[in-house]
Amino acid sequence: MGSINILVVDDEIRMRKLVKDFLVKRGYGVLEAENGEQAVEIFFENRDIHLVILDVMMPLMDGYQAAAAIREYSQVPIVMLTARDSERDELRGFDVGADEYITKPFSPGILVARVEALLRRSGGGRRELVESGGIVLDKTAHEVKIDGQLLELSFKEFELLSYFMENAGIALSRERILNGVWNYDYFGDARTIDTHVKKLRSKLGEKGDYIHTIWGMGYKFEVSK
């Protein structure tokens, strides 16, 4: 369990220590942040955070804003802590992507139990790997390696490659790719995919040839035999 890291975010030092102590006793690694802005910075600097515990009322950036910023790029489980217990506040927490909403004061034991339940549902911190033709895509760490060498990709390039590899051998229209990677609420030109594919192919080097163009339709990821 020691390989599972949890980010604890609260502007109250005593609260952070209380939560940290209970998590450490259970064998988890703990990172700390004292406000939402710092939390977002730490989250994106560390590729190995498996769950976030966020207080709502914090300076610089509150918990709702921090959760929304993290959720825009990651499906990491988020637990929100708050002194507010109104239905409106709770619904707002779920609207920004929280998985659990716990009101203060709370039992640390219950918090840990909720954390462990979320980790079980999300895979318990186990790595989710997709491998093909010498490309290893680590969805948990958000990393790509080619023949053992780390490859730097933008978020959308990573998502695009992930979508291609998970649908290997399937002819994908631009509209389907747009829906699968950019989601249905993107209103731009589907041809934006061509620009991203061009950049992705360039970064993949010779393995960029795995992404085949289907003229008049879209693309297909297929490893050459």
For each of the domains in the chain, give its residue range(s) and CATH number, in order of start.
5-121 (3.40.50.2300), 129-221 (1.10.10.10)
Residue 103 contacts residue 83 (beta carbons within 8 Å): yes
What are the Cα distances from residue 190, in Å, to 148, 162, 169, 182, 196? 33, 18, 21, 10, 11
Coil, strand or helix at 2: coil
pLDDT value of residue 2: 42
pLDDT value of residue 1: 41
pLDDT value of residue 125: 52
pLDDT value of residue 170: 92
Amino acid at 176: R
For residues 108-143, one letter each, b for 16 or more C-beta atoms within 10 angstroms of the residue's C-beta and e for the rest, the string is: eeebbebbbebbeebeebeeeebebbebbbbbbebb
- List, for residues 112-128, the tens digit of each pLDDT value: 888 888 887 766 555 56
Residue with tokens 């990651």: 74
Residues of the chain where predicted confidence (pLDDT) is lower than 50: 1-2
The values of phi and psi at residue 20, to 5°, are -60, -45
pLDDT value of residue 9: 94
Q: Which residues contact 161 (CB under 8 A, 6 or more apart)?
A: 135, 137, 144, 153, 200, 204
